[in-house]
């Protein structure tokens, strides 16, 4: 084999290995109702304060943000391409800071954040959404954006802080307990 063929083969293997965890998830293809049936409140709790967006639908997520107490943490997606050194580098990601915020020491930070990000991504991938946004400064809810519509989950006993969101939930179309739908005007 030539060097180019070997390189392509190795890169292909790395890609398949990095996607292996995603292939075991049940992915809901842009059908919010199927997603509602497949997700638990405990799983949704993992998305509180999380912001995940991809530039184009179908792209893989390579990082996301979590905001707690007005501090935003930049967290990696763990895959076979990123090295542990890069992931732990504070110029790239906030792994140690996020772990310390959660009372985890720096020695256990890598494993703690890997477990957390896997939980977050599991729910996000299952949703099939383009984005998942939760801004706790506005209230206890998550916005899942699907093509041409948004599905919003309101946590039980939620506090809604922003007045415009209070109006939204008062007037919104409820599709089941805790779930609301908003059709975007195209």
Q: For the chain, which residues make up each domain, given as ranges?
A: 26-183
* pLDDT greater than 60 at residue 176: yes
Q: Quote the pTM value.
A: 0.74
Q: Kindly indicate the confidence band of residue 16, based on its pLDDT and cuts at 50, 70 and 90.
A: very low
Q: Kindly indicate the confidence band of residue 97, based on its pLDDT and cuts at 50, 70 and 90.
A: very high
**How far is CA 42 from each of CA 38, 54, 133, rounded to the nearest angstrom?**
12, 24, 17
* Cβ atoms 136, 48 nearer than 8 A: yes
* More confident site: 14 or 174: 174
Q: Strand, helix or coil at 132?
A: strand
* pLDDT greater than 90 at residue 103: yes
Q: What is the DSSP string of 105-122?
A: -TTTHHHHHHHHHHHHHH
For residue 89, what is the enclosing H or E element? Answer: none
* pLDDT greater than 90 at residue 116: yes
Residue 179 forms beta bridges with which residues?
153, 176
């Amino acid at each position: 084999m030539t060097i180019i063929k070997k390189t392509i083969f190795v890169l292909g293997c790395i890609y398949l290995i990095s996607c292996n965890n995603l292939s075991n998830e049940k992915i809901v293809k842009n059908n919010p109702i199927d997603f509602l049936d497949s997700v638990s409140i405990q799983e949704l709790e993992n998305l509180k304060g999380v912001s995940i967006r991809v530039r184009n639908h179908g792209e893989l997520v390579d990082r996301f943000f979590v905001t707690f107490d007005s501090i935003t943490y930049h967290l990696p997606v763990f895959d076979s391409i990123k090295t542990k050194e890069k992931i732990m580098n504070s110029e790239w990601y906030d792994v140690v800071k996020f772990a310390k915020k959660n009372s985890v020491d720096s020695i256990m930070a890598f494993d703690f954040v890997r477990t957390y990000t896997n939980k977050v991504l599991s729910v996000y991938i299952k949703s099939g959404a383009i984005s998942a946004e939760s801004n706790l400064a506005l209230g206890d809810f998550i916005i899942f954006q699907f093509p041409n519509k948004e599905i919003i989950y309101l946590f039980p006993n939620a506090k809604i802080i922003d007045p415009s969101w209070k109006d939204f939930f008062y007037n919104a179309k409820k599709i089941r307990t805790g779930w609301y739908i908003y059709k975007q005007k195209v």
